[in-house]
């Protein structure tokens, strides 16, 4: 028979934590912190200023959405493992709160009960954080994403508060040794620890499998005749094609930031057709118009000095846009979005301080970018990409560095053009001044204004694409300029022929009616050039809607997988 341990030996043993508990606490602290500093980054990206700016030093930069998902997978495994550990080691009593203990005359006993009550408070907070995260990630179709996002953020901070309360309660219960014992292991309960490890890995793999399986399929219909790319969806193939709803959030100029997007796809011959539709109260065509003042013409780049075109962040004088990102990779945004004010050290920082689009593995994310005024008039979407960062050139990139975001090559003088002279940096020659001299003036101002509509507000619907076509322009002359009244707005864009070259590979046409945009896209299935992604069975798609803003588009994390007909 083994002799009982003396009181001093028991006290010494109680100054140590079993190794599985110590390891679990260490991993939990790391991954909770990792989840917090990654989640804060894209929460701050959506926020309109505020207190989060003070937390900039602790936020991670880069591919934070993917890292946040990884942290969630790890935390799922840790919770599953700890539950298995408590069961195997028969330590459920660690969580039992007794009324007798709460009223015990001994201080240590009372605080032990209080500490267990704190456990339950932390568990409840953790469950709310998990459920809100599941809602945002897997169940966005329930809506209320902005509110649920706030709940998720608040519970994340509540967990930080819980950890502080937990430390205080432990200290009051047992003094400094009660805190230090988590760093001093005793090597027992190792069998239960092994069970915890197996259960933890299984839980993490289960979450990863759920994440993988949550990607929904968009099954393309096989069209007997090619649909007309006109944005009206009255072709026979669209009546029977599968509809997939994509729920996006974080968009600006939209109530709650949410934009549900309806998507359909079809194949005819060697071409893919993708139809998209989403709600938008106004038809916004006005992009950075030129305004006649008593001192001359100026660019209207944004009324709010915090959000201007020269800061790559205008939210008023801008056209509606829509983008489809295409990648063979399932990673969020194909690995093409890196958040933060300086995610690519050694080059010029992003103007808006929110990040860059680029890939860091040499891959390319194809981007079909429909722009209501710039490409809308010619029935196209600008074929663009997220790729490896371009070499930094201090002269060329004096104003703005694009990182890995670029348009495919465009033939000279094709497609939309800026209606003012530009310097070697790609901005107005007078930059940073807003003053410009137009290259072209309207041939018939009254006729142009009749087409564009009478509204001069960026927040109201406009009549037509805010540009000037080849039959509407004449070269600038002071004589004609003198006839134009002060206060007149004219487009800052013109075009003389459709976009040609690789940038013009994608046909697209938008149609707005009754508070809803519909845009149809079409391109060859095979990649027309090296900057494109071939449309194959299983390719992944992401969608983004821009409500008359430059970069504050809505977005979603889980992609849609395209399935082609056999």
- Is pLDDT of 53 > 50? yes
What does the pLDDT look like over 166-191, one tens digit per residue?
A: 888 778 777 887 778 778 888 888 99
Of residues 392 and 176, more confidence is placed in 392
308-318 pLDDT, tens per residue?
A: 998 999 999 99
**pLDDT reported for residue 106:** 65
Alpha-carbon distances, residue 78 vs 31, 71, 75, 504, 563 (angstroms): 9, 10, 5, 50, 36
Among 133, 125, 127, 131, residue whose Cα is nearest residue 165? 125
Return mean pLDDT, the chain.
91
Most confidently modeled range among 16-30, 157-171, 376-390: 376-390
pLDDT at 406 over 70: yes
Structure pTM?
A: 0.92
**Reported confidence tier of residue 5, pLDDT bands at 50, 70, 90:** very low
Fold of 7-213: Fumarate Reductase Cytochrome B subunit (1.20.950)
10 Å Cβ neighbour count for 478? 7
Residue 168: what pLDDT? 85
Handedness of CA 303, 488, 450, 369 (dihedral sign): negative
> Poorest-confidence range of 76-85, 139-148, 454-463, 469-478?
454-463
Worst-scoring range by mean pLDDT, 5-9, 330-334, 423-427? 5-9
Question: pLDDT digits over 232-241, tens only?
Answer: 999 999 999 9
| Angle (deg, nearest 10), helices 145-180 and 107-138 | 150
> pLDDT at residue 102 above 70?
no
CATH 2.60.40.1190 fits 216-558, yes or no: yes
Q: Which of 314, 239, 231, 223 is nearest to 278 (CA)?
A: 231
pLDDT value of residue 9? 42
| pLDDT band for position 282 (cuts 50, 70, 90) | very high
In the DSSP assignment, the letter for residue 478 is H
Return the domain boundaries, the chain. Answer: 7-213, 216-558
């Amino acid at each position: 028979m083994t002799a009982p341990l003396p009181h001093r030996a028991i006290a010494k043993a109680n100054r140590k934590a079993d190794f599985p508990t110590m390891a679990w606490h260490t991993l939990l602290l790391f991954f909770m912190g990792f989840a917090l500093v990654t989640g804060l980054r894209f929460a701050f990206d959506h926020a309109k200023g505020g207190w989060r700016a003070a937390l900039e030093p602790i936020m991670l930069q880069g591919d934070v959405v993917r890292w946040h998902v990884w942290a969630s997978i790890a935390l799922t495994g840790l919770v599953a493992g700890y539950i298995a550990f408590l069961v195997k080691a028969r330590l459920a009593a660690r969580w039992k709160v007794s009324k007798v203990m709460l009223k015990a005359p001994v201080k240590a006993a009372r605080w032990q009960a209080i500490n267990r009550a704190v456990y339950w408070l932390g568990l409840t907070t953790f469950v709310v954080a998990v459920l809100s995260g599941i809602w945002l990630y897997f169940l966005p179709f329930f809506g209320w994403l902005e509110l649920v996002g706030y709940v998720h953020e608040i519970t994340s901070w509540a967990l930080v508060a819980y950890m502080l309360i937990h430390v205080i309660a432990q200290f009051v219960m047992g003094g400094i040794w009660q805190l230090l014992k988590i760093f001093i292991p005793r090597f027992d309960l190792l069998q239960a620890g092994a069970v915890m490890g197996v259960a933890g890995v299984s839980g993490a793999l289960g979450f990863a499998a759920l994440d993988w399986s949550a990607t929904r399929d968009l099954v393309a219909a096989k069209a007997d005749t090619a649909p007309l790319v006109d944005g009206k969806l009255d072709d026979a193939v669209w009546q029977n094609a599968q509809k997939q709803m994509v729920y996006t959030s974080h968009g600006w100029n939209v109530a709650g930031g949410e934009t549900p997007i309806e998507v359909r796809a079809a194949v005819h011959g060697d071409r893919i057709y993708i139809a998209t539709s989403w709600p938008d109260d106004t038809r916004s065509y006005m992009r950075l118009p030129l305004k006649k003042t008593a001192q001359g013409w100026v660019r209207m780049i944004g009324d709010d000095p915090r959000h201007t075109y020269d800061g790559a962040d205008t939210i008023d004088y801008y056209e509606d846009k829509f983008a489809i990102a295409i990648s063979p990779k399932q990673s969020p945004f194909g690995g093409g979005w890196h958040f933060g004010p300086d995610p690519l050290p050694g080059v010029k920082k992003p103007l808006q301080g929110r990040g860059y689009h680029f890939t860091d593995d040499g891959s390319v994310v194809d981007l079909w970018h429909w722009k209501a005024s710039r490409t809308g008039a010619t029935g196209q979407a600008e074929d663009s990409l997220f790729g490896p960062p371009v070499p930094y050139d201090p002269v060329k990139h004096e104003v703005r560095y694009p990182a890995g975001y670029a348009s495919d090559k465009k033939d000279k003088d094709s497609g939309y053009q800026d209606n003012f002279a530009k310097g070697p940096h790609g901005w107005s020659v007078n930059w940073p001044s807003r003053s410009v001299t137009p290259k072209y003036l309207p041939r018939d101002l009254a006729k142009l204004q009749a087409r564009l509509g009478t509204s001069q507000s960026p927040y109201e619907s406009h009549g037509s694409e805010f540009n000037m076509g080849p039959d509407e322009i004449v070269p600038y002359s002071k004589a004609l300029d003198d006839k134009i009244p002060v206060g007149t707005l004219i487009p800052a864009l013109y075009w003389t022929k459709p976009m040609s070259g690789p940038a013009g590979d994608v046909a697209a046409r938008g149609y707005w009616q009754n508070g809803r945009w519909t845009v149809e896209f079409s391109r060859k299935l095979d990649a027309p050039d090296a900057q494109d992604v071939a449309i194959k069975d299983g390719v992944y798609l992401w969608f983004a809607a821009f409500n008359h803003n430059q970069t504050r588009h809505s977005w979603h994390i889980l992609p849609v997988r395209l399935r082609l007909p056999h």
